[in-house]
Amino acid sequence: MKYYSLNDKSNTASFSEAVIRGLAPDRGLYFPKNIQRLSDDFLNHLDQKSPVEIGVEVMRQFVGDTIPETHLEQIVADTLCFDFPLVSLSKKLATLELFHGPTMAFKDVGGRFMARSIGYFNEQNPKKVTVLVATSGDTGGAVASGFLGIEGTEVIILYPKGKVSKIQELQLTTNGNNIKAVEVDGVFDDCQEMVKTAFLDKDLHAVYNLTSANSINVARWLPQSFYFFFAYQQLLQKGFDGNLVFSVPSGNFGNICAGIVANQLGLPVHHFVASTNINDTVPRYLQTQDYHPLPSKQTISNAMDVGNPSNFIRIQSLFDNDFEALKHQFSSYAFNDDQTRTALKELHGTYNYVADPHGAVGYLGLQEYLSQNPDAYGVFLETAHPIKFRDSVEEALNITLDIPAQIQHILDKTPEKTSLKGYEAFKEYLLQRA
């Protein structure tokens, strides 16, 4: 498998090169040259496969010969160390819980797969890999957990000051070891831009071997397709035969983009719904065909506070930049915080289900789509455990959440972080550490 830059198709890389570089030298995102549909035999017997068998089959063509089969199996097994239960709420509605991993967010999958891939690639490389990651909340914690203690790597996490939850900040700032946290005076888009700028900085490349752990990195992005297969597998085991719709809470759009990859691999998905908060660049685009990013705004679903989603260009590429083809299989709706709180109450009151604000937005988008397409079966992704947004959930529902073991052990830890503002300050910080 070869990958090319979405800025210049002649700029190509292998899987290992794309993973280590993170971003192409021309600042473009890497994209697979071709996506081959999985065999009918595999797809027809999906309900009989193990999670590891599914993961290996999905990733085999994407890694090519850069990772031997036995190592790929181990990487996938280490990645999928937790469950992905599909919880039925009604005859036409279910939620896929993606928060049973070590940091209680869906990003544990991509974070763990990428960390172990880089660990494998770096075994023969004497130069340490420095992973830069911008986070609006959950990405940083998942990447920190995935890379913690991985030989030959260090991770530097940039997050916007005052715009992540208390528990999210503890997950970013209490790891120690090879994990460093940088609190940026700005918004997520500032953090993301600083990471992208660092990749092109010749002064930094003279002393660092840089890569990214955001979903711009193919090793973070592509494994997220696994759990769309897991959801369908669980439906098949219950005798499902219908039009399947996934609603995905969307910020940087890597998760729903991976779902579309799963569809192109042969997974029979009827429609995708990208559910956003008031950071509505993509919903506006689908209405006007004018892509006009705006500065991100803070919400209670902060992991989706992204004004310029990096992965949307990949989604456009998956549909061959055909706007009508995109609209046929892809919808996007935006919701504000009041609507999100109402959805939290509705899920709790109607279904006795406690969601987090991101899952609530996913539920809202699904309800919007199902109101116009009542014959479909809808699954919304519950991307993080509600405890990670404890204040918002407890206030909306007037309940007290139990604290899971994954969270309890960090509550008494002291955050360690560096505070700064602007790219030049970040560059100076990196050069001083080199």
Domain ranges within the chain, ordered by starting residue: 83-106+221-402
Phi, psi dihedral angles at 84 (to 5 degrees): -130, 70
pLDDT exceeds cutoff 80 at 126: no
Query: What's the pLDDT score for residue 214?
Result: 73
113 three-class SS = helix
pLDDT for position 233: 97
Q: Is the pLDDT of residue 119 over 90?
A: no
Most confident of 68-77, 135-144, 214-223: 68-77
Confidence band for 146, pLDDT divided at 50, 70 and 90: confident
CA distance 131 to 34: 27
Q: Which pLDDT belongs to residue 165? A: 86
User: Which residue bears the tokens 């947004």?
Assistant: 389
pLDDT at 264 over 80: yes
Query: What does the pLDDT average to over 193-213?
Result: 89
CATH of span 83-106+221-402: 3.40.50.1100
Mean pLDDT of the chain: 94
CB 22 within 8 A of CB 210: yes
Tell me the average pLDDT across 210-235. Answer: 92
The residue assigned the tokens 């994209």 is 31
* pLDDT given for residue 298 in this prediction: 92
How much is the pLDDT for 281?
97
The residues pairing with 211 across neighbouring beta strands, listed in sequence order, are 131
Q: Residue 45 is inside which H or E element, if any?
A: none
Which residue has better confidence, 97 or 138? 97
Around Cβ 39, how many Cβ atoms within 10 Å? 11
pLDDT in tens, 223-259: 999 999 999 999 999 999 999 999 999 999 999 999 9
User: Would the pTM of this model clear 0.85, i.e. be above it?
Assistant: yes
Q: Quick one: pLDDT band at residue 100, thresholds 50, 70, 90?
A: very high
